[in-house]
Chain A
Amino acid sequence: MSYYIRRIFTLLLTVLLVLILTFAVFRIIPGNPALAILGVEASQEQVDMLSEKLGTDRPIGVQLADWLRGAATLDLGTSLRFDEPVAGLIAARLPVTLTIALEAVALIVLVSIPLGILAARSRGRAADLIVSAGTQLGLAVPSFWMGFLLILLFGLTLRWVPVSTYTGWSESPLLALRSTLLPAVALAIPQIAIVVRYLRTTMLEQLSLEYVRTARSKGLGERAVLYGHVLRNALLPVVTVIGILFGELLAGSLVVEQVFTLPGFGSLLITAIGNRDYPLIQGLVLFIAASVVVINFLVDLSYRWLDPKVKLR
C-alpha cells in the first residue's frame, strides 16, 4: 500500500513541476509578455489591454496560483488567436492525434513482436542480421521524411491512398482510419525499431537463464519453451517500453501531421507558435506532457500488476 501512496505522491509532484515549468517558460522572457506578442510598434494602450487579458499585469504569485487552479479545473485560459477556451480547442483536435498515435501503437505491437521473436530465434544468422540492419535504418530515418517517401510511393506513384485529405470519425470511420494510416506508419517505424531491438535483447537474456535449461531438460519442445515461458517473461518489460513510447508518438505526431496536413495537435501548436499565442502553447504543451506522466504512471502500475514477482516496495 505504501508503494502506491509514494507512487501517487511522485506523480503529483512531477505534474506540479511540469505545471510550474510550462508557466515559467513564458515568464522568463525579458520584458513584458504582452509587448513580446504585439511587437515594438504597439501602443501603450494595446499593451496594457493585452496584459490585462493575459493577466500578466498582476503579481507573479497570483498568476501562478491562478494557472494551477485553472489547470485543476481544466480551465487553461483563452486562446488569443482563436478567442476560444484553450481546453475546447485541444478537445476538438484530440481525435486526430489520438487516432494516429493509437494506430501507431497497434502497428508497433503487430510488427515488432514477430520481428523481435524472429531475430532472437535466429541469433547470429541471416534473418537476425537483416532485422538488425533494418532496425538501424528505421532508427535513422526521420519519421516526417518517411512520410514524404510514403506519400511519394503510395499517394503519388501508386495512387492507393488520397493525400492530404482528412475525413472525420463522424463522417466515415473507415475513411478516417485510411487517411491516418500513412502518418501512423511513418510515426511507428522508428519506434518499431526500438521495440524489436529491446524484445530481442530481453528474449536472449531470458534464454540464457536457468529455468530454460530446466524446461528443456524435462523434455519440453523448443516451441513450448519459447512461447510458453520465454516470450511471456520477455514481453513484460516490453509493455513498459511501449508505454514510454506513447509520449514519443504524441510528440512525433506534431511533426508528421504537418506532412499530411492533418488537423491535429501539430497544426494547432504550429499556428499557436506562429501567432505567439502563449495561452494556447502553454495549454497544449501542458496537456501533452501531463498525459505522458499519467500514462507512464499507469504503465508502471500495470507492470506491477502483470508481474506478481515484482515486489511492491
Chain B
Amino acid sequence: MKRSLLLSLGLLLVGALALLMIVSFFYTPYEPNAMKIAERLQAPSLSHPLGTDNFGRDVLSRVMAGTQTAFLVGSASVAIGSAVGLAVGIVAGYAGRWADELLMRATDALLAFPGILLALLLVSVFKPSLSQTILAIGILFVPSFARVVRSGVLQQREAEYVRAVKGFGAGHVNIVFVQILPNIASSIVTTAALSFSTAILVEAALSYLGLGVQPPDPSWGRMLNESQTYLAKAPWFTLAPGLLITATVLGFNLLSDGIRDALDKRG
C-alpha cells in the first residue's frame, strides 16, 4: 500500500506542477515582468493572491512562469547527462579493459567535486546564462548515469540471454540497444527522476548566487535572491518560490522512490 502511495503522491505533485507550467504558457494573471512601482511589496490580496515583489510584479505570475524555467533546466540537463553518461557507460562496460579503467577514473575525478562545486567551477568559465546553467548541470550528471549504465551492462553482458543472441550472430549494436538497454531501463529512469530534482536544487542555488539564470528569464532561485533583502518586510515574497522548489523536488524524489519500489516488488 505504502509503495503505490509514494508513486501516486509523486505523480500527483509532478502532474500538478506540469499542469501549472502548461497553463503558464497561455495564461498568467499579470504579465510576469510587468513592473508597477506603486504596488510594490503588497501582501497577498484578492488582486494579487501571492502578493507583489519589490518592483510591484505579481508573485503568482512570476512563480508560474518560473515553472517553465525549472522544467526546461531539469529536462534539458537530464537529457545531456543521460545521453553522455549512456555513451560513456556503454563503452566502459562493453569495451572493458583500459577504456573502462580510463573512463571510470575520469568519473571518479568528477565525483570528487561535491554537489554544486563542479557546477560553480563550470559556470565561472563563461558568462552566466540559462544555456550555460543547463550545460553545467548536465555535465554534473554524467558520472552517475555512466556508473548506472556501466554496472548494468557488466551485469547483463554475461547473462544467459545475451550469450544466446550472441550465438545467433547478433551484432554489438543489436546486443547493446535491443538486448541490454531495455533490461537496465528501470535503473536509468530512477536515476533520471532523481537527477531531475537535483537539477532543480542546483539551478535554484546557482541562480540564488546570481550565477545561474539571468533576468529577465524567470527563475525561482533568482526570486529567492531578490526576496532576501525584504525578508522581514515581505515574507510572502520568499515563501512562494521556496515552496514551489520544495514541491517540485519532493515530487520527483517520490516518483523516483516509487518507481524503484514498484519495480523491486515485481523483480
Query: Which positions in A face B, CB cutoff 8 Å?
Result: 10, 13-14, 17-18, 21-22, 25-26, 28-29, 124, 136-137, 139-142, 144-145, 148-149, 151-152, 156, 247-248, 250-252, 254-255, 258-259, 269-270, 272-273, 276, 281, 285, 288-290, 292-293
Find out whether the CB atom of B228 lies under 8 angstroms from the CB atom of A259.
yes
* Contact between B112 and A141, CB atoms less than 8 A apart: no
In the bound complex, do residue A255 and residue B109 qualify as a contact, i.e. CB atoms below 8 Å apart? no
A251 touches B115 (CB 8 A): yes
Determine, out of B54-62, B92-100, B238-246, the stretch whose residues face the partner at the interface: B238-246
Taking A148-B228, A281-B121 as given, write out 20 further A-B residue pairs in contact, using a Cβ cutoff of 8 Å, ordered by the A residue number: A14-B109, A17-B112, A21-B109, A21-B110, A137-B246, A140-B249, A142-B204, A142-B205, A142-B249, A144-B205, A145-B224, A145-B242, A145-B246, A148-B227, A149-B242, A152-B235, A254-B120, A285-B121, A289-B113, A292-B113
B238, A148: Cβ atoms under 8 Å? Answer: yes
**Closest CB of chain B to A17's CB: distance in Å?**
4
Q: A242: shortest Cβ distance to chain B, in Å?
A: 14
Which residues of chain B are within 8 angstroms of A250 by Cβ–Cβ distance? Answer: 114, 117
Tell whether A14 pairs with B105 under 8 Å between CB atoms, given A148-B224, A152-B231, A250-B114: yes
Interface of B is mostly: helix
With A139-B249, A142-B246: A293-B112 Cβ-Cβ less than 8 Å: yes
Determine if B238 and A269 form an interchain contact, defined as CB atoms under 8 angstroms apart: no
A255 B112 Cβ-Cβ under 8 A: no
Q: Could you tell me if B117 and A285 are in contact, using CB atoms closer than 8 angstroms?
A: yes
Q: List residues of B (142-168) whose CB comes within 8 Å of A's CBs.
A: none
Q: Quick check: B246 and A141 within 8 Å, CB to CB?
A: yes
Residues of B within 8 A of A (CB): 2, 105-106, 108-110, 112-117, 120-126, 197, 201, 204-205, 208-211, 224, 227-228, 231-232, 235, 238, 242, 245-247, 249-250, 253-254
Chain A residue nearest to B245 in the complex (CB):
A142
CA distance A308 to B187 in the complex (A): 33
In whole angstroms, how far apart are the Cα atoms of A26 and B123 in the complex?
11
> In the complex, A200 Cα to B254 Cα: how many Å?
18
* A29 and B125 contacting across the interface, CB-CB below 8 Å: yes
Whether the pair B249, A270 counts as a contact (CB closer than 8 A) is: no
**Secondary structure dominating the interface of A:** helix
Q: Name the contact of B245 in the complex, choosing from A145, A255, A292 (C-beta under 8 A).
A: A145
Residues of B within 8 A of A285 (CB): 113, 117, 120-121
Q: A251 contacts B235, CB within 8 Å?
A: no
Which residue of A14, A22, A145, A272 is within 8 Å of B108 (Cβ)?
A14
| Distance, CA A255 to CA B167, complexed state (A) | 55
A20 and chain B: residue at smallest CB distance: B109
A139 touches B109 (CB 8 A): no
Q: What B residues does A258 contact at CB under 8 A?
A: 208-209
Inter-chain contacts of B125 with A (CB < 8 A): 25-26, 28-29
Q: Are B114 and A288 in contact (CB under 8 A)?
A: yes
Write the chain B residue with the least CB distance to A266.
Answer: B209
Q: Which chain A residue has the least Cβ–Cβ distance from B113?
A: A289
Interface contact A255-B208, CB-CB below 8 Å: yes
B124 — which chain A residues lie within 8 A by C-beta? 272-273, 276, 281
> In the complex, what residues of A have CB within 8 A of residue B208's CB?
144, 255, 258
How far is it, in angstroms, between the C-alpha of A184 and the C-alpha of B201 when the chains are bound?
A: 18
Find chain B residues with CB under 8 A from A139 CB: 249-250, 253
Given A18-B109, A288-B114, A140–B253 Cβ distance below 8 Å? yes
Q: Which of B201, B211, B231, B246 contacts A156 (CB 8 A)?
A: B231
Q: A25-B122, A142-B246, A151-B231 are in contact. Are A252 and B116 (CB under 8 A)?
A: yes
Question: Which chain A residues lie closer than 8 Å to B205 at the CB level?
Answer: 142, 144, 255
For A248, the chain B residues whose CB sits under 8 A away are: 114-115
Q: Find the B residue at minimum CB distance from A282.
A: B121
The residue on B at minimum CB distance from A148 is: B238
Nearest CB of B to A36, in Å: 8
